[in-house]
Chain A
Amino acid sequence: GQQLNQSPQSMFIQEGEDVSMNCTSSSIFNTWLWYKQEPGEGPVLLIALYKAGELTSNGRLTAQFGITRKDSFLNISASIPSDVGIYFCAGQRGGADGLTFGKGTHLIIQP
């Protein structure tokens, strides 16, 4: 099955730095989502994007739905230690369809 192309694979940053990650697909999705997963837990939804070109914020997180419907990016501003985890992008074709995930971006914050 298809997986989305997510980059970077991992990021080592200092506390307080901004973070940017992106996701691309060879096919169109009608919804883009960003999830965070911590060890031993299931993914937790951070941001959902429903319209091409949409820019949505959730606290220090900002995500955009690409105009071509084939890409999305997530920015985290002023990172803090609790931001550590694996971030996944996911695409969805229909409202109740299963999700197609990227391979994840592992965020590590150095003290």
Chain B
Amino acid sequence: EAGVAQSPRYKIIEKRQSVAFWCNPISGHATLYWYQQILGQGPKLLIQFQNNGVVDDSQLPKDRFSAERLKGVDSTLKIQPAKLEDSAVYLCASSIRGVDGDTQYFGPGTRLTVL
């Protein structure tokens, strides 16, 4: 079974530029999550989708971050304009309902460096 796919793997931009990340979840997984992982810390949830609807975006900095999952499958996360403090790894995860709960499977992440 193919895992969660993310692209690009690495991105370097200058502050105030825009950037977009793409995620393709595991086939059949209805729930998709975007996390931000700053160096030396654990991942922090940015946004959660159930199919194409937003379930939780309470920690998403909405003045500069946006995300969409138009057809309930792939998702994109955008930052516009980027700040230095946005340098981090952006992880996508997907999950499917199990007997005990939803197990989240993570992609390899996109490492963003803002100069």
A residues touching B (Cβ–Cβ < 8 Å)?
1, 3-4, 6, 31, 40-45, 48, 50, 88, 90, 92, 95-104
Contact = CB atoms under 8 A, between A and B. Distances in A.
Interface in B44-84: 44-45, 48, 50, 55-56, 59
A40 B95 contact: no
Given A1-B59, A42-B91, A92 B41 contact: no
Contacts of B108: 40-42
Please tell me the size bucket of the interface on B: 20 to 34
B31 A96 contact: yes
A47 B97 CA distance: 17
A88 B106 CA distance: 13
Contacts of B50: 96
B21 interface: no
A19 B46 CA distance: 32
Contacts of B102: 95-96
Given A96-B50, A103-B41, 15 more contacts: A3-B44, A31-B101, A41-B109, A42-B4, A43-B91, A45-B103, A88-B43, A92-B101, A96-B95, A96-B97, A98-B33, A98-B35, A98-B56, A99-B35, A101-B44
